[in-house]
Amino acid sequence: MNVAGRQRCVLIVEDEMFLAMMLQDLLEDAGYLVLKAARLPAALALAETAQIDVAMLDINLAGTEVFPAAEVLRRRGIPFLFTSGYGCNGLPPDYRQSPMLQKPYDQTLVRQALSMLLGDAADTVP
């Protein structure tokens, strides 16, 4: 995924190493640059400063909720989606309209969701 000669960057906030590595491989194969964080402090640092185009946020990071990082991304105007094995039940009212991907991940749905968030209708996988 390139825009104006620059690789699009996806922030993956995921505390399960295997899932993070699987997502990284999937997204890099699709042409994205990938940044990863497994804990909230690292996610906050990247959300505040990195040149991110879109983010995937696991709701529960080893018992800590990811919502402070979501708030930073929202303030910066960076689109994001939540991921969870528990569905939308863990979302507070402020985020109930946010996109959600259910774990385990379906590769086609991941690519479709990111394309939708980035407004890349032509890149959406059928």
Range of the domain at 118: 2-123
| Whether the predicted pLDDT of 13 surpasses 80 | yes
What is the per-residue pLDDT across 51-62, written as a single tens digit (0 to 9) for each? Answer: 999 999 999 999
The CATH number of the domain holding residue 91 is 3.40.50.2300
DSSP result, 73-119: HHHHT--EEEEESSGGGG--GGGTTS-EEESSPPHHHHHHHHHHHHT
As for how many domains the chain has, the answer is 1
Identify whether the C-beta of residue 43 lies closer than 8 Å to the C-beta of residue 37: yes
Whole-number Å distance between alpha carbons of 80 and 43: 13
What is the per-residue pLDDT across 56-82, written as a single tens digit (0 to 9) for each? Answer: 999 999 999 999 999 999 999 999 999
Structure tokens at 50: 């990195």
17 Cβ neighbours under 8 A, 6+ residues apart? 38
